[in-house]
Amino acid sequence: MLSLPRLRLLSELSRRGTIAAVAGALRYTPSAVSQQLALLERETGVALLERTGRSVRLTSAAERLVQRADGALAELERAEVELVRGEGPVTGRLHAASFQSVVLALAPAALDILARRHPDLEIEITQREHARAYDGLLSHAFDLILGEEYPGIPEQVRPGVDRSDLLSDPLCLVLPPDGSLGRRPRRLTDLADVPWVLDPEDTATGRWARGVCRRAGFEPRVRFESPDLLLHAHLVRTGHAAAFIPALLATPHLDGLSLVGLPGDPHRVLYTAVRAGRSEHPAVAAFRAALGEALEAAHPGPPAWTVRFEA
């Protein structure tokens, strides 16, 4: 019988590419990962790894084994779900990963709902950038993640993942209300010379924002770079920058700022994602339902645009 923990290490190596990355993700030492993979090779009697300098590469036999291993791990999760479904109150612990805007706008209300409805269910939320959150989901570090998909940057389809869309959220241009960045603009190009605060360029949010400016015909003067949307709002409020901010944060964090509707009415899509084998787990279902109720209670209707830009 092959060892499932060792098969999981092989699966992680297929996804992450290096033994060091596997060790870091699963809190092993690199030598311990190497030893376990060597034991798996002896168990199978087949070469699973090819040494290429200081790195390793999976053999074709190992790639086939990974496909079977992933299926076996998913089936094991489904079996665990079947054992707990319908067996009394929802209990245990659910570890979620999210980005800032959902934690600010929806998580507190969702946690209140869960505390009333499922007091024995413990929720942990870790703030993670999108790509790292997905890595953690597939490594079983997280049970559920909250993700976002930006216009023109389609989400990678990941096998074995169950995605459920939560909200289509308008994207706003946000400006100081006092005209401190110049006269009221009529087009995005009128802001070509003002300072901007944007997310880092290696994020989907940052790539989308820069793409909006470039398609309008200018390179944004990025004076501040940060993933912290509250910092974005603060820099706008104090007259130091323009920013793109999702409408989900409009109340109360953008109160008093000028919200400008962009040409084409771009939206981001917020969603939850879980491993497919865990999609029907009572804790997952309870958390998804609570997020939906929190969103409905928040009523994030169409933003109250100060002005809409011309195309």
Say what the pLDDT of residue 311 is.
Answer: 55
pLDDT above 70: percentage of residues in the chain: 98
Burial of 116 (0-12, 13-18, 19+ CB in 10 A): exposed
Say what the pLDDT of residue 207 is.
Answer: 95
**Which of 16-30, 37-51, 138-152, 222-236 has the least mean pLDDT?**
16-30
Each residue's pLDDT tens digit, 31-43: 999 999 999 999 9
- Determine the Cα–Cα distance for residues 204 and 244; give it in Å rounded to an integer: 13
Of the candidates 141, 160, 139, which has an alpha carbon nearest to the alpha carbon of residue 97? 141
3-state secondary structure of 205: helix
Say what the pLDDT of residue 74 is.
Answer: 87
- Structure confidence at residue 160 as a pLDDT band (50, 70, 90): confident
**Range(s) of the chain covered by CATH 1.10.10.10:** 4-84
Overall average pLDDT of the 103-111 stretch: 91
Residue with tokens 């959902």: 102
Alpha helices, DSSP H only, in 150-281? 204-216, 229-237
Say what the pLDDT of residue 304 is.
Answer: 72
**Range(s) of the chain covered by CATH 3.40.190.10:** 92-168+268-298, 169-266+302-308
Say what the pLDDT of residue 267 is.
Answer: 95
- 49-52, long-range: CB < 8 A, 24+ apart: none
Overall average pLDDT of the 115-138 stretch: 91
**Which of 187-191, 231-235, 301-305 has the least mean pLDDT?**
301-305
Assign domain 4-84 to a CATH class. Answer: mainly alpha
Say what the pLDDT of residue 2 is.
Answer: 86
CA gyration radius, the chain: 23
The CATH number for 92-168+268-298, chosen from 3.40.718.10, 3.40.50.300, 3.40.190.10, 3.30.200.20, is 3.40.190.10
Each residue's pLDDT tens digit, 216-274: 999 999 999 999 999 999 999 999 999 999 998 887 788 888 899 998 899 999 999 99
Superfamily of domain 169-266+302-308 in CATH is: Periplasmic binding protein-like II (3.40.190.10)
- Determine the Cα–Cα distance for residues 121 and 222; give it in Å rounded to an integer: 43
